[in-house]
């Protein structure tokens, strides 16, 4: 227990001669350096708060305004039109102060007020400018004169070198759509999914709602929109995520994969050393707000960065009625799981971040540690994988005091969670395609007890050097974590690198204290609850069917030559594939972001439209190519319109959801809202875009590309489809469904998607020669960088 003794700053012993006090200079040094580092972080946060608070101006502009006012006063003119004199009259100053000093102080006060007024005006102007969204509806490549002027004004009012959170105070609030518009769009979205009798009934319910209860609920919603920064996000987090009582594993959490064709090193500890170091480098940039604000690609339009605040040191805590998200100040350690044991791994020593080689050394110590897990410890993580109520009760009863509370606090307050997995994953073996499916399932649920599903994110390092990430969904959406994951992968390979033997670069301080093994006292009754939670989680995990594949026959390059949006092209292919698979259409969910607005999260794009159904029916009905092509163009344009409306606050589902929440608060029933909110999403889709293309060289190093990520099926009888468009020639798909449903099959649906993609390209470019190469699995490559 050397590390425990080192943590004590002094020891004393009572002897007959008196009290013998012994100071630990190493511990005192650690305390001093930790305090210095903490104060540095506070000063940086204070500085950034000032810079962000006065944005789009700068703190130095205050001095410029003061000098300008004083200069005009020196020329015997009064720029304040008498206000400086008025301020001087009412100054509560000593009579000993000369009139010149009083005039100077009054001028400084006036200058400061003028400066603050200018900041407020500039911020208000920027907020109004960012509320303009007509640019997004203009035809690609054609910009109106109004939009050109608008872009110039946005650049002027945006200031120079904004920090990560600089735009937060200037982002507009999410608008509340009109009831009649939402109802009209909803009815249009379900027309092709209902027969005439069903549609007439729904129309009558909608008309009754719009003319009576709807206006009352809308009034309360508008009141909330005036008061809150975002009228959707807090209710969305609470009621969609935190109040769910079923397991979050598979049902809510999602995952991200490593490079598909490259493993930078086959050494597990080395891979962990580099990437853990890269995670903390990202956190340092995050704390200093040095990360550039995210923008819509190719534009100057900023996106909300509020979700970035809870990336690290965040945990979802279970409750009997509702869970809660807890965020702590930065932790200097990570929690590590290996072979049933939990460890605390400090990543800072003497106030500095450990080097990758030192973290590798510490990880290897954990891998080599022969200590067995404590009684009940090995499968403790299953509590986070099962139903939420049993976990909440077990937490309150068995983890609210003593050694169990201290160890649980260590996990929950860690920067993030790390699993050292004994399995090997990735594209490998005689059946690489099947190995990708296993890889996806491992990241999504693992063994159901070797991940801590409540942490904001958990990183998994496999025995062969592969890694991956599993994320809890309530605190943020996938693009936020994807930004972190891209940075980590790129920093790991292209900046930190490995030596010729595959180890991290640098030297090791062998005097580093060993990682601390956490202690537990698990009662037999708690072990029983762990077993029950594991049984629930295992049944859920075994039911998940997954299929992951990289579509390499063509990509967005060829699609764009056909003058079609790649996203619309893929969504139409999914509609065609689903119809061929089930011979019917279904309510389709595509995730769109609303981060153009303050604290915005997501909105639903209802991809199954009247136009898409008409196109699919024409193509499958044998209509001529010209008509099918015309209907496809109409369907893809409608999809683009729906996507743009969702991004700019004109979506359907979040508005209806909030109206439903208000109705529950008021204790009134709405047959219309109840039916709308109960409709299942049998096809749930999401695109994961690469946000930091500058970090990757897709031309010279196309093998360094992540396979994206995925999620579990939303409906028991439906599919979950995540896709990522990489470079010009690759589209990755992650398809999930459930074995228990006889009507779904992930591999069969994947084959339908491949065929639909080829058929659509053939329809749009019948005279273009299709690539002759078939989809071949590229061999796994291990490289030393």
Q: Where are the domains of the chain?
A: 55-90+99-133+149-158, 240-544, 552-648+680-765
Nearest-angstrom CA–CA distance, 469 and 463: 15
Cα–Cα distance list, 458 to 165, 385, 546, 648 (Å): 25, 13, 20, 33
CATH number for 552-648+680-765 (one of 3.50.50.60, 3.40.50.300, 3.30.559.10, 3.40.50.720): it is: 3.30.559.10
Which DSSP letter does residue 136 get?
Answer: G
- Which pLDDT value is given to residue 278? 96
The pLDDT value given to residue 324: 96
Q: How many C-beta neighbours within 10 Å does residue 105 have?
A: 16
- pLDDT recorded at residue 428: 81
Q: Which residues participate in catalysis according to the annotation?
A: 473
- First and final C-alpha spacing in the chain: 38
Nearest to 480 by CA among 456, 446, 451, 459: 456
Give the per-residue pLDDT at 783: 43
Give the closest residue to 677 by CA, choosing from 203, 128, 154, 186: 186
Q: Which helix (H) or strand (E) holds 316?
A: strand 314-317
Nearest C-alpha neighbor of 666 from the set 249, 279, 218, 132? 218
pLDDT value of position 329: 84
What is 61-88 written as a DSSP string? HHHHHHHHHHHHHHTT--TTTTHHHHHH
Q: Which residues pair with 725 in a beta bridge?
A: 731
CA 765 to chain centre: 37
- What is residue 30's predicted lDDT score, i.e. its pLDDT? 62
Nearest partner of 268 among 442, 504, 469, 463, judged by Cα: 463
pTM: 0.89
pLDDT of residue 16: 58
Write out residues in the chain with pLDDT < 50, as ranges: 1-10, 769-785
Alpha carbon 472 to chain centroid distance?
Answer: 9
Instruction: Enumerate the β-bridge partners of residue 257.
Output: 468
Q: Could you check whether 240-544 and 552-648+680-765 share the same CATH topology? A: yes
* CATH no. for 240-544: 3.30.559.70
Element spanning 6, H or E:
helix 2-6
Distance between CA 738 and CA 729 in Å, rounded?
30
The pLDDT of residue 32 is: 67
């Amino acid at each position: 227990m050397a590390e425990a003794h080192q943590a004590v700053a002094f020891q004393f012993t009572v002897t007959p001669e008196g009290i013998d006090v012994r100071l630990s200079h190493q511990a005192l040094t650690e305390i001093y350096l930790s305090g210095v580092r903490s104060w540095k972080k506070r000063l940086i946060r204070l500085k950034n708060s000032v810079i962000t608070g006065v944005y789009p101006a700068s703190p130095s502009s205050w001095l410029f305004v003061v000098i300008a006012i004083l200069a005009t006063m020196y020329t015997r003119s009064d720029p304040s039109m008498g206000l400086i004199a008025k301020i001087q009259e009412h100054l509560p100053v000593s009579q000993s102060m000369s009139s010149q000093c009083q005039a100077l102080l009054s001028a400084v006060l006036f200058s400061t007020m003028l400066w603050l007024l200018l900041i407020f005006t500039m911020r208000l102007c920027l907020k109004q400018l960012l509320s303009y969204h007509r640019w997004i509806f203009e035809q690609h490549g054609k910009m109106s004169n109004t939009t050109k002027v608008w872009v110039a004004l946005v650049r002027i009012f945006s200031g120079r070198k904004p920090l990560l959170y600089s735009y937060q105070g200037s982002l507009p609030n999410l608008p509340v759509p009109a009831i009649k518009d939402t109802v009209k769009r909803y009815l249009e979205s379900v027309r092709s999914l209902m027969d005439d009798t069903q549609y007439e009934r729904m129309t009558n319910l909608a008309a009754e709602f719009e003319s009576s209860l709807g206006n009352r609920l809308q009034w309360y919603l508008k009141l909330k929109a005036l008061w809150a920064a975002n009228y959707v996000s807090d209710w969305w987090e609470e009621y969609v995520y935190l109040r769910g009582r079923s397991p979050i594993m598979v049902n809510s959490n999602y995952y991200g994969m490593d490079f598909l064709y490259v493993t930078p090193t086959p050494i597990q500890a080395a891979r962990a050393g580099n990437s853990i170091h890269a995670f903390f480098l990202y956190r340092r940039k995050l704390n200093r707000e040095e990360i550039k604000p995210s923008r819509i690609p190719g534009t100057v339009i900023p996106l909300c960065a509020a979700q970035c605040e809870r990336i690290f040191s965040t945990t979802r805590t279970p409750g009997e009625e509702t869970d809660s998200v807890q965020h702590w100040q930065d932790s200097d350690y990570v929690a590590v799981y290996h072979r049933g044991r939990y460890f605390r791994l400090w990543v800072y020593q003497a106030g500095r971040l450990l080097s990758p080689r030192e973290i590798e050394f510490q990880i290897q110590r954990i891998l080599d540690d022969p200590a067995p897990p404590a009684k009940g410890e090995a499968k403790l993580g299953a509590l986070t994988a099962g139903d939420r109520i049993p976990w909440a009760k077990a937490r309150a009863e068995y983890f609210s005091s003593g050694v169990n509370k201290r160890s649980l606090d260590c996990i929950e307050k860690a920067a993030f969670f790390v699993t050292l997995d004994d399995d090997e994953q990735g594209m490998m073996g005689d059946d690489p395609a099947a190995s990708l499916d296993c890889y996806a399932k491992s990241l999504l649920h693992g063994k159901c007890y070797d991940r801590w599903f409540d942490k904001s994110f958990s990183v998994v390092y496999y025995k062969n050097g592969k890694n991956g990430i599993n994320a809890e969904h309530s605190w943020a959406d996938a693009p936020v974590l994807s930004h972190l994951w891209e940075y980590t992968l790129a920093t790991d390979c292209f900046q930190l690198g490995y030596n010729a033997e595959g180890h991290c670069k640098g030297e090791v301080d062998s005097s580093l204290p060993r990682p601390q093994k956490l202690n537990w006292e698990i009662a037999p009754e708690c072990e029983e609850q762990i077993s029950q939670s594991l049984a629930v989680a295992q049944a859920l995990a075994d039911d998940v069917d997954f299929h992951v594949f990289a579509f390499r026959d063509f990509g967005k390059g060829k699609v764009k030559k056909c003058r079609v949006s790649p996203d619309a092209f893929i969504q139409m292919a999914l509609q065609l594939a689903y119809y061929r698979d089930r011979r019917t259409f279904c309510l389709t969910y595509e995730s769109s972001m609303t981060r153009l607005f303050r604290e915005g999260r997501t909105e639903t794009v209802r991809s199954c439209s009247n136009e898409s159904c008409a196109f699919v029916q024409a193509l499958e009905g044998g209509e001529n190519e010209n008509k099918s092509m015309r209907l496809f163009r109409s369907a893809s344009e409608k999809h683009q319109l729906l996507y743009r409306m969702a991004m700019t606050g004109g979506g359907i589902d979040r508005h209806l959801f909030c109206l439903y929440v208000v109705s529950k608060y008021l204790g009134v029933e709405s047959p219309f809202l109840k039916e709308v909110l109960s409709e299942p999403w049998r096809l749930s889709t999401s695109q994961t875009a690469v946000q930091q293309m500058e970090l990757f060289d897709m031309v010279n190093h196309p093998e360094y590309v992540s396979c994206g990520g995925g999620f579990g099926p939303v409906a028991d009888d439906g599919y979950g489809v995540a896709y990522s468009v990489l470079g010009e020639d690759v589209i990755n798909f992650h398809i999930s469904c459930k074995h228990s449903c006889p009507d779904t099959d992930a591999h069969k649906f994947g084959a339908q998607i491949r065929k639909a993609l080829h058929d659509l390209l053939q329809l749009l470019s019948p005279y273009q020669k299709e690539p002759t190469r078939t989809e071949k699995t590229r061999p796994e490559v291990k490289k030393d960088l």
